[in-house]
């Protein structure tokens, strides 16, 4: 009897048919456990590409992506399923990414076309470049698995369901990116999502775009799968950390990431361009999941969601809000927590100012952030307490003084003032690494241990330094 229906997923026992009599007969015989309408699913790219760019993506600095490179994390060993429009056949050669053989779920299972995952519209290619291209990707070592479900802007939910099961059972993907959505809550769709989640896959989805010309009400309708609890729903922000005008705002939004004017590979493969849409915010979080899984292979989906929440940079209303969810993803802090790094200090550039994030693994432990300025001789000329408190924190729009030759930030224990971590930023050289210091200190600078006072008395510290504060912090290491 089921030979008259199209198989969607053998593992899940899901079939597709437009024969209502067959559905009624299966229901009468007790072989039909559930049914749902095969609704339409839409990609969430706006298609408003701009001129090609060659500069480094602004999103990397906003997210604190340098921490991953400093730790040697690339997403290696992690498979990321891209349920999308496929990939350019030469994507790996163009971008240096690792691409596994995927499947075309628009074609019959036993046909030659089943292995044709060529991207006809460019959406999947752009998404993939945000995840794993050498030029714009956050996880260049991750292995991409293209599961093609779109040849245009829309597809069917049965196709997406089949791809989700395949991503887990056939391709062993640890991360599934879904830059798509539907306004219909389909029970079979939710069953597939729950199945993948229980198998340990981290599911990331675009929160959804508003209709062109409409403005957010602050409580916009939800899209699925983003609204399912098992899925991380990602909203879009711009380079100024403002929620993009097209990004839906509702209680389903879990986290925000760059999604307006972000850099990616064009469909032609000849250039990089910018695009906008929550479609392009989701892969940034998918890349973060790949990096986190490399750092901690035992990381499960619930723990990843918790890490996203605890490490996020709060934005908008204090705490959770419908615009940013739990805040803007802070990739540096997320990975520091995943790695269990004690006293991690992440310094990133945001325009003309610095953004500082610190991670203290013990939630009840106090830490303090000190700013120390040094002359060209290495002598400390000033220090100030910027923050003191418990647990992870972020400071934004921090203007580092230019009157010193270099500045160092120290995360310290308030009780001992012993540095837990250190980050340095040279005045006027924020985007370039500082020159290596000479092998020998200059003649006029005595080689003294940090606890010894310098030859000349330092300038006075702030009027009320904390008790026990040192007159001198260690000179910053190169």
Separation of alpha carbons 51 and 67, rounded Å? 29
427 token code pair: 């005045």
Q: Which of 276, 279, 348, 394 is catalytic?
A: 279
Helix (H) or strand (E) holding 265: strand 262-265
228 token code pair: 């399912």
Separation of alpha carbons 252 and 197, rounded Å? 17
Q: Which of 9, 38, 59, 84 is catalytic?
A: 84
Q: Is 84 a catalytic residue?
A: yes
Separation of alpha carbons 27 and 418, rounded Å? 71
330 token code pair: 């802070």
369 token code pair: 């952030």
DSSP state string for 121-159 = SSHHHHHHHHHH-TTT-S-TTSEEEEEE--SSSEEEHHH
Q: Which of 85, 119, 123, 357 is catalytic?
A: 123
By CB atoms closer than 10 A (0-12, 13-18, 19+), residue 460 is exposed
Q: Specify whether the CB–CB gap between 384 and 370 falls below 8 A.
A: yes
Of 362, 346, 365, 343, give the one whose Cα is nearest residue 354: 346
Q: Is 300 a catalytic residue?
A: no
Of 358, 207, 230, 400, give the one whose Cα is nearest residue 301: 230
Cis peptide before 225 (omega within 30 of 0): yes
Q: Is 190 a catalytic residue?
A: no
DSSP structure class, residue 313: B
Helix (H) or strand (E) holding 354: strand 353-359
Q: Which residues pair with 145 in a beta bridge?
A: 81
- Tell me the catalytic residues: 84, 123, 279
């Amino acid at each position: 009897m089921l030979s008259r229906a199209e198989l969607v997923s053998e593992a899940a026992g899901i079939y597709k048919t437009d024969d209502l009599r067959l559905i009624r007969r299966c229901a009468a015989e007790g072989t039909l456990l559930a049914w749902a309408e095969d609704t339409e699913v839409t990609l969430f790219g706006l298609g408003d590409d701009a001129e090609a760019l060659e500069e480094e993506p602004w999103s990397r600095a906003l997210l604190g992506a340098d921490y991953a490179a400093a730790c040697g994390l690339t997403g290696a060993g992690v498979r990321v399923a891209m349920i999308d429009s496929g990939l350019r056949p030469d994507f790996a050669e163009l971008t240096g990414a690792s691409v596994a053989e995927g499947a075309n779920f628009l074609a019959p299972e036993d046909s030659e076309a089943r292995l044709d995952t060529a991207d006809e519209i460019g959406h999947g290619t752009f998404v993939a470049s945000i995840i794993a291209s050498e030029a714009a990707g956050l996880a260049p070592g991750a292995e991409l698995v293209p599961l093609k479900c779109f040849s245009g802007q829309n597809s069917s939910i049965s196709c997406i369901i089949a791809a989700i099961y395949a991503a887990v059972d056939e391709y062993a993907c640890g991360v599934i990116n879904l830059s798509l959505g539907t306004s219909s809550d389909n029970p079979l769709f939710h069953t597939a999502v729950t199945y993948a989640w229980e198998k340990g896959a981290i599911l990331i989805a675009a929160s959804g775009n508003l209709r062109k010309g409409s403005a957010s009400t602050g409580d916009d309708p939800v899209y699925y799968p983003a609204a399912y609890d098992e899925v991380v729903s990602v909203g879009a922000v711009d380079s100024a950390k403002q929620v993009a005008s097209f990004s839906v705002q509702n209680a389903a939004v879990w986290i925000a990431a760059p999604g307006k004017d972000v850099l990616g590979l064009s469909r032609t493969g000849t250039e990089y361009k910018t695009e906008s849409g929550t479609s392009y915010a989701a892969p940034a979080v998918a890349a973060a999941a790949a990096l986190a899984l490399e750092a901690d292979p035992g990381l499960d989906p619930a723990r990843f969601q918790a890490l996203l929440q605890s490490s996020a940079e709060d934005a908008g209303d204090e705490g959770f809000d419908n615009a940013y969810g739990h805040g803007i993803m802070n990739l540096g802090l997320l990975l520091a927590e995943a790695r269990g790094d004690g006293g991690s200090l992440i310094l990133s550039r945001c325009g003309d100012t610095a953004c500082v994030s610190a991670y203290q693994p013990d939630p009840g432990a106090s830490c303090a952030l000190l700013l120390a300025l040094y002359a060209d001789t290495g002598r400390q000329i000033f220090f100030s307490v910027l923050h003191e408190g418990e647990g992870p924190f972020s400071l934004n729009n921090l203007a580092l003084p230019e009157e010193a030759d270099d500045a160092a930030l120290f995360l310290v224990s308030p009780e001992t003032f012993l540095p837990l971590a250190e980050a340095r930023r040279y005045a006027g050289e924020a985007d370039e690494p500082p020159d290596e210091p000479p092998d020998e200190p200059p003649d006029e600078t005595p080689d003294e241990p940090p606890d010894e006072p310098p030859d000349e008395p330092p300038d006075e510290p702030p009027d009320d330094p904390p008790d026990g504060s040192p007159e001198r912090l260690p000179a910053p290491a190169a």
